[in-house]
Copies of this chain bind each other. A is one copy, B any other.
Amino acid sequence: MNESPGTCLLDACRKARVPLSATCGGKGTCGDCIVKVIKGTYTIKPSSFLPEKLRKQGFVLACQTLIEDDLFVQLPEFQELSLKATVDMRSLLDQKDSLIADLDVSSPVEKLPLTLPSSTLDDNYSDLKILETEIKKERPLDTVYCEYSVLKKLAHTVREKQGQVEVILFRDGLSWTILDVEPLSPHKNLLGIACDIGTTTVALQVVDLQTGKILGFASSYNQQIKCGEDIISRINYAQKPERLQELHEAIISTINNLLEKAIEATGGATSDIYFASLTGNTTMVHLLLGLSPRYIREEPYVPTLNRVPIIRSREIHLKMNPEARVHCAPSVGSYVGGDILAGLLCTPIVSQIDKISVFIDIGTNGELVLGNKEWLMSCACSAGPAFEGGGTRCGMPAATGAIEKLKIREDGTVEYRVIEGGKPKGLCGSGLIDLLAELFIRGYVDRHGKFNTEKIGNRLVDNEVGKGFLVETSTRSFWGKDLLITENDIANLIRTKGAVFSACALLLKHTGLSFDQIESFYIAGGFGQYLDVENAIRIGLLPDLERTRFHYLGNTSLLGAHLILLSEKNRERVNELEKMMTYLELNTEPGYFNEYTGALFLPHTKKELFPSVERLLSR
């Protein structure tokens, strides 16, 4: 920070386009804008209430801090947020037979060691001709292209180790493109990245393209959140060209930061990255490419593209090898993106002919897919980021310090488990579902999501932090302030679960199916490591069916990106999925509003839809 003395650090951060939120509006009460000062002098407003211990470590609330001279600050995103890859690849391998995904490692980018023959006066072909000939011997395909940057160094490279080189090749259909040539160096890795570009959070893996091993991982908030929490507000923000550019740069900067962080652990260099597989919703992909998302929002909802041509990393300034190829999973419609198609790779839905399944991905938007081997239908709803930690005071992504599991004891105190232990900072999606279900089942919250003040008793606090149910006291919470859930938070959670449930109900209605005809529900999202299906049913997020029908898969968008990264077959399969899927526009579907308002209760207005919950309540 290089700002004039006396400037509020939060203002300076925002001016510098640093994505700090401040739910309390800069009053120093929410703790959202906590940062760590690395160097420089500053004054703290007397009203700041950060605990002594954190202050001693250099933490400050940006909204309560005045800059004295140049300040170097570290943002919590890149320091504290370590999301978990929620599903292990091994669990996928268990289902191998029924998955359509190809689990072999056969990346479209490969490294080929070659020994080029020496030229003589009688046999003095050009360097390129010799290289192409040797490549065709090993990999017989129609055409070999060569990047201009490779030509520039070819003469010296082939002579450095007497013709011993390694060639980085990219296969696209029937042609090869030479992305790079290096003197033989067997210890260098060939790297790729898989990245899930969520509206709220972005998660990235660095993968060894030869072994398929995940070498590094990093995740953070999407820096775009400073311009709007959900997709519609981002689209609105992007109306002006300079703001579109701002959003574009924000996501590029987010990915580049993650890249550098994730590659650090691998001992590799960003220039060793030759392929990126990205997944995101249609709007995120448009903003990644710097394309105006305007017509996605305006009727008849037309994106610039669904299937994205392979682009070069340098075209969008990603910090990889400049010739690295970037693949974005295709979208189906304006609101069902490549994250969903990639996610489907992690399910057996399209390998089953006699069973109908549902795939639900709950992020900032909720997307649903219904179908089997013969047909697929999808729809999307604006769920809101409540289960990813947005839109609620106590919510946070499934990262270190988040409560991921929770139970309320008879005496009203709360038992919980924190990711990586220590004092809790907030609740991730699975924790919030547990909390809401427990509050509801214990009668602390009624069907409308309002507090039953008498029943809660002294767990209902009303102090400078707000008014709400006390999850943890200030002394035992990370930020040194009470950890509360307010009625507003609850209303947000109910809106989110209501949007998802009603979208599912409507999709079934449109196809003439009922909930009990669905044999499997595959649930994806950033809830955290665990999702308590019982509790999800209790709040009316999932339908009241046999619990064995539900399968929680975690972040399938990232997993799908990983699968595409490692196999061209998966890339082709995602394209096939795009072709077979139809998209149902909920906004123009009759009965949508009724379905939605009906779902704005705990668990639902129609009690008969949730018999097991009603039985429990009546006990």
B148, B155, B588: the one contacting A311 at CB < 8 Å is B148
Known contacts A289-B151, A292-B155; A302/B125 CB under 8 A: yes
Q: Which of A146, A151, A292, A311 gathers the greatest number of chain B CB atoms within 10 Å?
A: A151
A120 at the B interface (CB under 8 A): yes
Report yes or no: B300 in contact with A151, Cβ–Cβ below 8 A: no
User: Which of B155, B159, B291 interacts with A152 by CB under 8 Å?
Assistant: B291
In the assembled complex, the Cα of A146 lies from the Cα of B289 at a distance in Å of 13
Interface residues of A in 267-302 (CB under 8 A from B): 289-292, 294-295, 299-302
Q: How many Å from the CB of A173 to the closest CB on chain B?
A: 8
Q: A155-B304, A156-B292 are in contact. List 15 more A-B contacts (CB 8 A).
A: A119-B300, A120-B300, A121-B299, A124-B301, A127-B302, A128-B305, A128-B306, A129-B306, A129-B307, A143-B173, A148-B289, A151-B291, A152-B291, A154-B291, A159-B295
A–B Cβ pairs within 8 angstroms, 15 of them: A119-B300, A119-B302, A121-B299, A121-B300, A121-B588, A124-B302, A124-B334, A127-B302, A128-B305, A148-B316, A151-B291, A151-B309, A152-B289, A152-B291, A154-B304
Please determine whether A148 and B305 come into contact, CB atoms closer than 8 angstroms: no
Asked if A480 is at the interface of the complex by the 8 Å CB criterion, the answer is no
Q: In chain A between 134 and 160, which residues have their CB closer than 8 angstroms to a CB of chain B?
A: 143, 145-146, 148, 151-152, 154-156, 159
Specify which of B123, B145, B155, B159 is in contact with A309 (CB 8 Å cutoff): B145
A128 and B307 form a contact (CB under 8 A):
yes
Residues of B within 8 A of A129 (CB): 305-307
Closest chain B CB from A589 CB (angstroms)? 11
A585 at the interface (CB under 8 A from B): yes
| Nearest chain B CB to A456 CB, angstrom units | 48
Asked if residues A152 and B290 are in contact (CB atoms below 8 Å), the reply is yes
Q: Which residue of B lies closest to A282 (CB)?
A: B126
Find out whether the CB atom of A304 lies under 8 angstroms from the CB atom of B128.
yes
A401 contact set on B, CB distance < 8 A: none
Residues of A75-134 at the interface with B, using a CB-CB cut-off of 8 Å, are 119-121, 123-129
Q: How far is the CB of A619 from chain B (nearest CB, A)?
A: 48
Residues of B within 8 Å of A121, CB to CB, are: 299-301, 585, 588
Question: Does A19 reach chain B (CB closer than 8 Å)?
Answer: no
A576 within 8 A of B: no
CB distance from A183 to the nearest CB of B (A): 16
Bound CA span A159–B333, Å? 19
Task: Tell me the A290-341 residues at the B interface (CB within 8 Å).
Answer: 290-292, 294-295, 299-307, 309, 311-312, 315-316, 333-334
Write out the residue numbers on chain B whose beta carbons fall within 8 Å of the beta carbon of A311: 148
Which chain B positions have C-beta within 8 A of A148?
289, 309, 311-312, 315-316
Q: How far is the CA of A12 from the CA of B442 in the complex (A)?
A: 89
How far is it, in angstroms, between the C-alpha of A120 and the C-alpha of B301 when the chains are bound? 9
Distance (Å) between the CB of A425 and the closest chain B CB? 40
- A interface list, Cβ under 8 A from B: 119-121, 123-129, 143, 145-146, 148, 151-152, 154-156, 159, 173, 289-292, 294-295, 299-307, 309, 311-312, 315-316, 333-334, 585, 588
Measured between C-beta atoms, what is the minimum distance from A273 to chain B in Å?
19
Which 5 residue pairs are nearest across A and B when measured between Cβ atoms? A128-B305, A124-B300, A121-B300, A126-B306, A148-B315
A289: chain B residues at CB < 8 Å are 148, 151-152
Q: Are A126 and B305 in contact (CB under 8 A)?
A: yes
* Bound-state Cα–Cα, A294 to B153, Å: 12
CB neighbours (8 Å) of A152 from chain B are: 289-291
B303 A126 Cβ-Cβ under 8 A: yes
Contacts of A585 in B (CB 8 A): 121
Question: Nearest chain-B residue to A316 (Cβ)?
Answer: B148
By a CB distance below 8 angstroms, the chain B residues around A312 are: 148
A333 and B290 alpha carbons, distance in the complex (Å): 45
Bound complex: CA A146 to CA B309 (Å): 7
Closest Cβ of chain B to A101, distance in Å, is 25
Return chain B residues, CB-CB under 8 Å to A173: 143
Residues from chain B with Cβ under 8 Å of A333 in the complex:
124
* Nearest-Cβ distance from residue A141 to partner chain B, whole angstroms: 14
Cα separation A148 to B128 with both chains bound (whole Å): 27
Q: Nearest B residue to A146 by beta-carbon distance?
A: B309
* Closest residue on chain B to residue A156 by CB atoms: B292
Q: Is the CB of B301 within 8 A of A151?
A: no
Contact flag A305-B120 (CB < 8 Å), given A156-B292, A292-B156: no
User: CB-CB < 8 A to A124: which residues of B?
Assistant: 300-302, 333-334
**A309 — which chain B residues lie within 8 A by C-beta?**
145-146, 148, 151
Residues of B within 8 A of A119 (CB): 300, 302
In chain B, what residue has the closest Cβ to A149?
Answer: B315
Closest to A143 in B: B173
Contact of A155 among B145, B294, B307 (CB under 8 A): B294
CB-CB under 8 A from A306, the residues of chain B are: 125-126, 128-129
Q: Do A151 and B305 touch (CB < 8 A)?
A: yes
Nearest B residue to A308 via CB reads: B151
Of A126, A299, A315, most B-chain CB atoms within 10 Å:
A126
A120 to B588, CA, bound (A): 13
The CA-CA distance from A145 to B312 in the complex, in Å, is 13
- Chain B contacts of A315 at CB under 8 A? 148
The interface residues of chain B lying within 8 Å CB-to-CB of A154 are: 291, 304-305
**A133 vs B173: C-alpha distance when bound (angstroms):** 20
Q: Would you give the shortest CB distance from A149 to chain B, in whole angstroms?
A: 8
Query: Which of chain B's residues have a CB closer than 8 A to the CB of A334?
Result: 124
Q: A588: which B residues are within 8 A, CB to CB? A: 121
